C-alpha cells in the first residue's frame, strides 16, 4: 500500500489548468513563485508519504475509541497531526493577519489532495477547519476573528460543521436545535444553545485542546424552514481570562458511528446544553445562518470533490503496482506461451488506462474550480461566477469518479481485491461516503438545474459551454458532446421543475464530462507543445498524451448517450410499485 506523490502531474496541472503563474502576477499572491509552488508541492508530497500514509491502514483496522464522552485517536495519529501543525501545512491559504501564509487556495487544495491520498479519513480534520476559517472571514466579527482564527489557521484547534439532526437528514430546515439569547449578567449577548447533531466529522478527538463547532440552530420566534436558522460558534471549551480553553461549555459527544469506511475519522453524535449551559456566539446575525454556512459548505463541497481525486489516485497506484507484479497466463495470440504480468492483457490495460484518464480528469476539474475561486478573490467577476457553476460538478462528478476508479482497482486485483489484506477494498469502502456527505450528489445535480442554471440570466452555464466549444475545434467527439449539452441546456431552461429534476443527474454527468474533456484537451495540447520544444519529462508527457486521448476518444463519446435520459423528463419515472 505504498503511496508515491504524483508531483510531476500536480505541477503540470497547476501550470496548464490552474494557471498559478497568472495568480502570482497579482500582488495578493506574489509569493506563489514557481520555486515556492514546486517547494510546496514537493514538500507536502514527501510529508504525506512519510507521515500520513503509514497510518492509513492503522486507522482502518484500529478505529478511534469512544469512552465516557471522549474519543482517543488510533496510535500515531496525534504525533502525525502535531507534525502537520508544526510544519505549517494547514496555514497555506490562511489570512496573513491571523497567522496564515496568504497563498492561493489552489495550493491548499493540492496539499489536501496529497494528505488525503495518503490517508483520506485523517485528512477530513483540516478540511472542515478550512471551511470554518472561510465562514468566520466572511461573516464573523473582528473580535471573533482575533479570538478564534489564529489557532484555527495553524490547526492548533480544529473546526467542525454541525447541520444534520436525527430525522432531518438533508432537510436542514427541519432542525430543532435552539439558541436563546442571554440578556443580562456576564454572559449577556451570548446564546444558550441546546440540541443534538449527528454525523459530525471530528466532533470529538484528542488531537487538539479545543474544538470550534459551527452550529445551526433556531432562535425563539424564528420562522420554520431554512429562513429561520442562525449560525453559532460553540467551542468545546470556553476561554479563560488568559485566552486558554479551560472552561467546560456543555458540549458532549454521546457516541461515534461505526461506518463502512473512513474509519480513521471519528464521526460523532454531539449533544449541546444537556445538564450544563452551552454558550455560543452568533455568526452573521439572527436568521443569517444559511448564508454564513454556505460559505463553509461550498469550500467543503470542493474539498470533498478533491477526495474523489485522492481515493482514485491511491486506488490507481495500488492497482498499477499489482498489475505490474502479478504473473498470469500468456498473451492471447502470442507465439510465446510464457505467462506475463497482467498489465499486458488487453482488458487489464483498458481498466488501468480508464482509471488513469478518469483520475487525471477529476484532478483537472478540481484544480480548475479552485483556481477560479482564487481568480474570483482577485476581483475577476467572471471567474467567481464560473467557480459557482463548477462547485456541483466538482463535488459530484469527481466523487463519482473516485467510486468508479476504486471499484476498478478491486477488479484489477481479481479475487485478491476482495480480500481486506491487500488494501484495495479499503479504498472502495472509503470512497463510498464522498457522493453522500456535504450534500448528496443528487442534491448537487438539483442545484445545477435549479439555482446554477439560472445564474446571471443563464450566462453562467452558457459561458462555460461556449468556452468548451472554442476549445474543442480539434477534437470532434468533444465538439459533438458540447453541442448536445447546449441543446439539452436549452430544453432544461424551458422545462418544468419535475422534468428538470428528473434529468438533473445525467445532465450533470454530461456537462462534467464535457468540462473535463475540454481540460484534458488543453493538457494534451500542452504536452505536445512541451515535447516539440524538447522540455520536460518525455515519458510523463507521452503518457499524458495517451491518457488524454483515451478520455477524449472513449469517455467523452459515451456521455453523448445520456441526452435521452435528460430529455425523457419526469414522465419516464413512473411511480414505484408498493413492496409487499
Asked if 556 and 510 count as a contact pair (C-beta separation under 8 A), the reply is no
How large is the angle between the packed helices 459-471 and 381-413, nearest 10 degrees? 60
* Annotated catalytic residue, options 242, 438, 483, 523: 438
Beta-carbon count within 10 A of 132 CB: 27
Q: Which of 454, 166, 144, 137 is nearest to 299 (CA)?
A: 137
What is the grid cell recorded at 44? 507536502
Q: Give the whole-angstrom CA distance, residue 473 versus residue 468.
A: 9
- 398 burial (CB, 10 Å; 0-12 / 13-18 / 19+) is buried
Asked if 336 and 368 count as a contact pair (C-beta separation under 8 A), the reply is no
3-state secondary structure 122-147: CCHHHHHHHHHHHHHHHHCCHHHHHH
Per-residue burial over 429-448, b = 16 or more CB atoms within 10 Å of its CB, e = otherwise: bbbbbbbebbbbbbbbbbbb
What is the grid cell recorded at 339? 505467462
Per-residue burial over 274-295, b = 16 or more CB atoms within 10 Å of its CB, e = otherwise: eeeebbbbbbbebbebbbbbeb
Q: Give the whole-angstrom CA distance, residue 426 versus residue 446.
A: 30
Q: Give the whole-angstrom CA distance, residue 116 versus residue 407.
A: 18
What is the grid cell recorded at 140? 464573523
Cα angle 497, 499, 504 (rounded to 5 degrees) comes to 90
3-state secondary structure 75-96: CCHHHHHHHHHHHCHHHCCCCH
Q: Mention every residue, 6+ apart, whose C-beta is less than 8 A from residue 268.
A: 71, 200, 201, 202, 203, 204, 253, 254, 255, 256, 257
What is the grid cell recorded at 311? 481515493
Q: Which region holds residue 244: left if phi is over 0, alpha if psi is between -120 and 50, else beta?
A: beta
Q: Give the whole-angstrom CA distance, residue 528 versus residue 538.
A: 10
DSSP one-letter string for 41-85: HHHHHHHIIIIIGGGHHHHHHS--EEETTEEEPPTTHHHHHHHHH
Q: H or E element: which one contains 369?
A: helix 346-377
- 15 burial (CB, 10 Å; 0-12 / 13-18 / 19+) is middle
| DSSP strand pairing (158-162 vs 211-218) | parallel
What is the grid cell recorded at 512? 462534467
Q: Mention every residue, 6+ apart, whose C-beta is less than 8 A from residue 226.
A: 172, 173, 290
CA atoms within 13 A on the CB side of 314: 36
- 438 given a catalytic annotation: yes
Active-site residues, by number, are 438
Amino acid at each position: 500500500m505504498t503511496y508515491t506523490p504524483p508531483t510531476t502531474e500536480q505541477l503540470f496541472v497547476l501550470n496548464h489548468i490552474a494557471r498559478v503563474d497568472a495568480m502570482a502576477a497579482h500582488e495578493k499572491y506574489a509569493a506563489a513563485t514557481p520555486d515556492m509552488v514546486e517547494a510546496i508541492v514537493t514538500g507536502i508530497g514527501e510529508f504525506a508519504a512519510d507521515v500520513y500514509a503509514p497510518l492509513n491502514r492503522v486507522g482502518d483496522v484500529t478505529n478511534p475509541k469512544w469512552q465516557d464522552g471522549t474519543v482517543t485517536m488510533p496510535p500515531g495519529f496525534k504525533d502525525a497531526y502535531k507534525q502537520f501543525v508544526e510544519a505549517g501545512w494547514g496555514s497555506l491559504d490562511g489570512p496573513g493577519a491571523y497567522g496564515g501564509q496568504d497563498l492561493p487556495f489552489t495550493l491548499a487544495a493540492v496539499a489536501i489532495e496529497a494528505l488525503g491520498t495518503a490517508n483520506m479519513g485523517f485528512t477530513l480534520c483540516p478540511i472542515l477547519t478550512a471551511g470554518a476559517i472561510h465562514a468566520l472571514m466572511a461573516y464573523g466579527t473582528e473580535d471573533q476573528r482575533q479570538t478564534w482564527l489564529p489557532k484555527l489557521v495553524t490547526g492548533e484547534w480544529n473546526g467542525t460543521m454541525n447541520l444534520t439532526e436525527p430525522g432531518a437528514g438533508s432537510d436542514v430546515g427541519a432542525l430543532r436545535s435552539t439558541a436563546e439569547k442571554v440578556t443580562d449578567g456576564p454572559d449577556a449577548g451570548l446564546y444558550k444553545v441546546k440540541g443534538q447533531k449527528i454525523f459530525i466529522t471530528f466532533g470529538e478527538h484528542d488531537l487538539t485542546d479545543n474544538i470550534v463547532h459551527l452550529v445551526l440552530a433556531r432562535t425563539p420566534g424564528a420562522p420554520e424552514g431554512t429562513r429561520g436558522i442562525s449560525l453559532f460558534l460553540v467551542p468545546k471549551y470556553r476561554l479563560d481570562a488568559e485566552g486558554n480553553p479551560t472552561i467546560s461549555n456543555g458540549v458532549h459527544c454521546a457516541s461515534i458511528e461505526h461506518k463502512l469506511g473512513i474509519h480513521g475519522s471519528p464521526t460523532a453524535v454531539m449533544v449541546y446544553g444537556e445538564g450544563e449551559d452551552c454558550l455560543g456566539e452568533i455568526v452573521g446575525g439572527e436568521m443569517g445562518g444559511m448564508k454564513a454556512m454556505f460559505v463553509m459548505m461550498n469550500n467543503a463541497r470542493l474539498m470533498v470533490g478533491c477526495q474523489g481525486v485522492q481515493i482514485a489516485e491511491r486506488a490507481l497506484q495500488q492497482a498499477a503496482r499489482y498489475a505490474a507484479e502479478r504473473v498470469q497466463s500468456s498473451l492471447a495470440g502470442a507465439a510465446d506461451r510464457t505467462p506475463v504480468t497482467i498489465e499486458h492483457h488487453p482488458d487489464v490495460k483498458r481498466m488501468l488506462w480508464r482509471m488513469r484518464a478518469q483520475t487525471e480528469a477529476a484532478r483537472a476539474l478540481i484544480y480548475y474550480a479552485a483556481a477560479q475561486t482564487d481568480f474570483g478573490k482577485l476581483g475577476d467577476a467572471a471567474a467567481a461566477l464560473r467557480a459557482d457553476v463548477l462547485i456541483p460538478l466538482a463535488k459530484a462528478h469527481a466523487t463519482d469518479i473516485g467510486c468508479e476508479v476504486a471499484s476498478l482497482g478491486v477488479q484489477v486485483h481479481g479475487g485478491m481485491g476482495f480480500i481486506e489484506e491487500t488494501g484495495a477494498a479499503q479504498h472502495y469502502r472509503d470512497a463510498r461516503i464522498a457522493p453522500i456527505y456535504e450534500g448528496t450528489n443528487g442534491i448537487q445535480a438539483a442545484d445545477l438545474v435549479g439555482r446554477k442554471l439560472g445564474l446571471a440570466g443563464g450566462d453562467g452555464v452558457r459561458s462555460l459551454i461556449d468556452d468548451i466549444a472554442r476549445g474543442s475545434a480539434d477534437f470532434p467527439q468533444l465538439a459533438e458532446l458540447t453541442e448536445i449539452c447546449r441543446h439539452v441546456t436549452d430544453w432544461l431552461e424551458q422545462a418544468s421543475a419535475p422534468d428538470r429534476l428528473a434529468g438533473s443527474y445525467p445532465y450533470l454527468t454530461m456537462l462534467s464530462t464535457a468540462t473535463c474533456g475540454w481540460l484534458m484537451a488543453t493538457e494534451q495540447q500542452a504536452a505536445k507543445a512541451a515535447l516539440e520544444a524538447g522540455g520536460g519529462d518525455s515519458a510523463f508527457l507521452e503518457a499524458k498524451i495517451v491518457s488524454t486521448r483515451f478520455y477524449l476518444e472513449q469517455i467523452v463519446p459515451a456521455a453523448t448517450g445520456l441526452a435521452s435520459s435528460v430529455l425523457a423528463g419526469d414522465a419516464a419515472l413512473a411511480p414505484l410499485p408498493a413492496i409487499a
